[in-house]
Every structure is written in structure tokens, then in C-alpha cells.
Structure 1
Amino acid sequence: MNPSALLPIFVLFSAALKAGCYTTQPHDIVPGMLRGKDPYSEKKCDGTRSTACTDCSAIKICISSDETKDADNPRQACPASAPHCAMSQTGAVCQKTPDSSIEECSAASSDFTCTGPGFYPDSSSCQQYHDCSDASAEPVTYYCPDGTRFSSKFIACEQYTGSCPKVCNQTNSETIFTAFPGDSQYYTYCQFDTTLTPPKLVNAYVFACGEEATFDAKLGKCVFKCPKVGLFANTANPKRYFSCISLSGKLTYLEMACGAKMTFDAKAKKCVAIIPPKEGNDN
């Protein structure tokens, strides 16, 4: 090939790099795998059992084993105190934990609690992370392949050969929140049952500091780093924002809150009214 023919290609490639149109990621970054809920195969009343699971959280009474009359067998949801249906050789029973022998049920279960919008690392496994649309929303869970762990920098899985760090090591009466190990963008509240000896971990709630903020273990709170003077959204809480000012030549900030039924608009740099979705509109 004529060397002069390569010149236009090189010029275009250089321009793309300068414009930020061409980006690369490290080779050890891979996307997470969506953890979905497979279709559940309803268990049959085959004459050997008195009950059967109709899905992961419902049960039916096997009055008839005739498949043509199966629709007449009574069905009901498992109670809130024992919300998971589990199968055995003699039948089905509602219990507190998912049935690990049924892949569809164990794969669909998640005890992670969303505390705000965004992506969150899992408190029990560094190979899992969760996408939350809002606080208390149902999380969408992703898995990282073996040899990788969640990276908040790439919102993907990065190569990792060590073991997952333990989030809640022990009770600590001196602090309410603890830093999330290996990632200062997050912090945790570890809930222990102190009536037991030794105290038993009940749950671990993961919170996010948001963009440009990190958790300060000494202060026990997130600290925002002002990029410049102005107003900036708190990406961990849409109702709050930061007002960055110059004080004695040093950038500092005040954390502000929007009024009721309002949220901060990062583009408009002000609080705006929350527009409720129209009924019947799923978009």
C-alpha cells in the first residue's frame, strides 16, 4: 500500500482521539451477566404428593391427580411469614428461605435492599452488583464471571484474583456507618442482633456517596469534592445538591435540599417539581 494513502486514515484517527470519539477500556474489564428469573415449571399432582408448588411463592392442594382436573385443585400464595414454596419427595411446603434445589427460585431471589438510585456492590459477594432505579425499588442483579469483581469505576467486572473482603466484620458501638472495603464511594450500615452472644449479623445496607464524593471513616459521612464554584447534583439523592463556594481562596460546599415533591435538575442548576408519570404510560 502506498504510504501516502495511510495519511488520511492517521489524521482521522488522531482527530477522533482528540475529540474523545475513540475510547478504550482495559482488556480485563468485562460486562456483568444479568441475573434473570427463568420460567417456573409448575409441579404436578402425580398421586404421590398432597401439595405441589405452582411457582416460587405459591402452593396448590392436590385433591386430584387427574391432569384434566388439575385446574380445579385449590391454589394460594404462601403467607408473608413463609413466602417461599419448596418441594420435597412428599409434597410442597411454604418456608422462610427460597428452595435452593429449584434453580428458577434460587436464581430469582435477592435479599439486597436498594437505598437509592444507581449501581451498588453486593454486601455479601464482590462478584455481584445491583442496579436500583430508586430507594426501596426491586434491584436488578448482575453477576461477575469467575476471576473478576465489580468495579464502580467502569460499572462492570474487573479482573481480580483475591478473595472477596468481608463487609461487616464485627459490631462497633463507636460508629454507625462503616466504610465499604475497597471502594470509598460506598459505605454500609451493619445491623446486628446484640441480644445474642456473639452478636449475629441480621442485614447489611449499602449506601452510595454519589459522584465526586467519598466516605470519610473518621467523620462518619460522605465528603464532596467541589470541582469548581457552582451548584452540583447529589447523584446519590436526587432531592439534594451541593453549593460550592470559594471561602478564603479555598473551595468548600454546603449540602442543600429541595422542597417537598421537588428534585434537583443538574442541567438547569435548580430544584424543579417532580412530574408524576401519566396513568397508563409505561414509558
Structure 2
Amino acid sequence: MSAASLQMLIAFLLRVCLAASQQQQQLTPGIMQCVSEGRFPHPEDCGSFVDCLPDGMGGVRAREGSCNGLAYYPTLRKCVSLNEVNGCQPRSARALVADPKLDFVCEGSTSEFVCADCKTLVNCVNGTAYPEPCGSGDLCALKDLDFGGGVCYPSHPPECTCEKPNQFKVDLYNVGRFFFCEHEASEPTFYDCPEDHVFDSTMSQCRNYAGLPECTRIGVFANTSNCTEYYTCIFTTTGWLQKSFSCNNETQTGFMYNEESGRCEDPCSWDTGTFSCSSEGRFPNLLNCHSYYECINDLTKETGFRQILHECPEGHEWDPNARQGFGHCVRQGSTNSVCVPLAANKCTVPNDQCLP
């Protein structure tokens, strides 16, 4: 072969190698060259797919995803059973690891990619949840248009990020979970509320899903926002356990919980300690041992009496038996009778509930 022929052959081989190299570059890195965002079939494996995501520099990058032994259905952009894609023999037969605790997120989405929380993508296959935690910098985002559902996406959605430092926010997909950012736009740290609790962003704390006050001690307490209910506070190794109960049922209505008696009662029978003059004299204040009422006839008043609340001097209390039963302020603890003030009930009874 002449030198000229040899040079032409070498040049041809170089062109072939260059073309092959360019074709190979379309498949690497990340198996394929992405031209737009979205979820696409894997070019070499029917049991895998490729997510094309922003690369942070104005372009898109490829990231492989595996159905782990199942088949990828391109039209639906989902992982499905092998018998739903004719002739599919996945290259990888590694089994998915299911998490029954997350099956609830697959209700109504038997085969779908969904977000269980800001950092957990769930591959729902026939109603079974297969979680796929998102890597550093990625958050679970719902991208139905391009990905047909959830995807671990760079720094998105904004609801799963912090706008300012030292901020607590509720998880976008799971109200029983919250996260904290030490710095603005830093990687969030996620926490779980106790069972049956949700995170209240305004209070920056977990609260009972029924809106019950937070427990601070063991006991049974009225739900002051709705006193027809009461709740228990029990401390366990995993934290406070709350359980709600109702005072009313099919045979009993209008009852409220009385913390003093520890029973559900008709609130119209409660002694609220409210005082109104009915005769002249001085009378004890049932709600406060250190004060008393003075009642004086006064026809200019609607009740017929001028009613005045007086305070005893510091260190003194009202003794209704002093001065032959007329009552007087005496030094605290100087009498045989022990004053126990009536506890004001925390519950508010509707004005029309106890009308005659």
C-alpha cells in the first residue's frame, strides 16, 4: 500500500472513530444527552428511566432511575409490573424495598411517583410504596407536565426551603413533619412530630391534631376551646400522649367537663362564684379569700344596691365569722377555719344554654 493510500485509510478511520465518539458522548455522561427537562425511557434498559434535570448552569443533566426489577411504561411515565410491558426483560433485577408505613400516600395513586414529604419520593406500584430518599440539594417536587408526577428536583419546590435563617416550616406534603434551616437557603434538617400531632407554623411547635393544648403535666383536662370535650395527658418514653373524649352521646347532651370534680356535668348547675347583692351587709368573695363585697341600699341602682369589692390588707384574709358574724379582715392563718377559694371554671357556658 502506498503512503498516500495509507494516509487516506488513517484519515477515514479517524473520521469513523470521531463519529463513534460523538455518538457515544450522547449517551454519556448519564447514559443519554438531555435536551429538555422530563422523564424519558432508558435507551438501553426497559426497566429503567432517565430524569433530565437542571444542571445549575442553564442546561440539563441526566440522572438514571431504576424500576428495580419492574418495567418502565414510557407513555404513562411510571414503573409498572413486567406483564404490562410486552417483552421487557430489565437489565437489573434488584428488588424494590417496600415500606408499608408509607402505603397511605399511594391511596388513589396505585402506580405513580408521589411525594411523601419534602425529602422522600415514593414510587407507588400497584398501591405499594417504595420510598426513594432525595439526595443532598434535591427536594421532592410534583412535576406532572414533564415527569408525570413526583421527582427529586434541585432546590425545588420553594415551600420546602427556608427564606431566612433559623426558620421553622411545616413540610409541604406532611403536616406531621417540619424542618429547620440554620442559614438562608441552606440544606434543611427534617423532624417528625409525635404521633397524632401536626406542626403549627405560627406557634413553631407540634400540637395535637384536634387542637388540644400542649401537655405540661399528667392528668385529665377540659378542652377550653370546646368544653364538651376533655383529654388525658400521659407521659411515655416517646413523649406526651394525648387522647380526646366527649362528654356527650346519644343519651346525654349539653354536658361539659368540670376539672374540679373530674366529671362531665350540666354546666348550669356549676357554682361560678358570681356575686350579686340581695341584702345589706359584708359578704365573702368566694373566688378570693383576701377580698369581700360590701352591699348598701341604693335605689338609684338597677339592683337596688350599691355593690363594692374591697381588698383586705396584705397578709390578711376575710373571716365571715369575725365580729359576731359581721365579718372582718384578720391576719392570715389566725382562725381555725381554712379558706379555700372556689376555682374559677375554665369553660365558657353559652349565654342561652341556662335560660329558664
TM-score, with length taken from structure 2 = 0.24
Structure scoring higher RCO (CA < 8 A, sep ≥ 6) equals 1
TM-score (norm 1): 0.28
Higher radius of gyration, 1 or 2: 2
